[in-house]
Structure 1
């Protein structure tokens, strides 16, 4: 008989890494929000498994994402965040209300980590779905960003000449 423990043993090795997205991509500025998201659907199905000669399907539902911003600050979100869309939903302020992100207070090179964690259910041979107890953390995604400090300088208006 296929058990939840047997399925969990396979699932922990099959959960894909949720790719990390950042905007701005490689460098950002102190005191503006760096937008972050993981490229992960709320629901997904893993490739079919065979356990004890029986076909097993596994469905994952995103439970939460754990963020480590690289500056000793962390957060947990219940969604993957929203990918930045400069064409249809650009952010024109220091903080972006429709996006998830983090505001850095000092400059330097940093590594951001994001771990998507899932709840899972499985069905054997097309039967009724059963829940796998607990959650399953996927591999941690990482991205590098350099935080820079910029100072504004007033210049004469070219139209005033």
Structure 2
């Protein structure tokens, strides 16, 4: 008896058909699995986009709230600075009112003369200063409408 180890053509055909069916089933399963995975991935991507959009919206709200607080702080600072300027102006006005009570044209004339002496003594100033003067060379201090209010006594 001779035993042939080669499979018969019928067996080869069946084996080929089984391999072909297994191969087609594997390909079809892969395609179906890919489609299912793709749907799952699309769903996950959509959820992630929604989550990111919510986070961005919350961040925008927080940034806007911070900007509003910063602006409110700037307004408070500006109001305080304006109040400080107002109080300084009141102080200057009160000081000027107090000085004006005792300020006479003769005193202004005296101060002007003293200032001119200091300029002359300093030696740093080569400017020429012209001062209107009345009789006897005494400087004039003008009053309202350019009229001299203080003049030197005339002889």
**Which structure's residues are more often strand, by fraction?**
1
TM-score (norm 2): 0.21
TM-score, structure 1 as length reference = 0.21
Larger Rg: 2
Task: Pick the structure with more helix per residue.
Answer: 2
Question: RCO greater where, 1 or 2, for CA within 8 Å and sep 6 or more?
Answer: 1
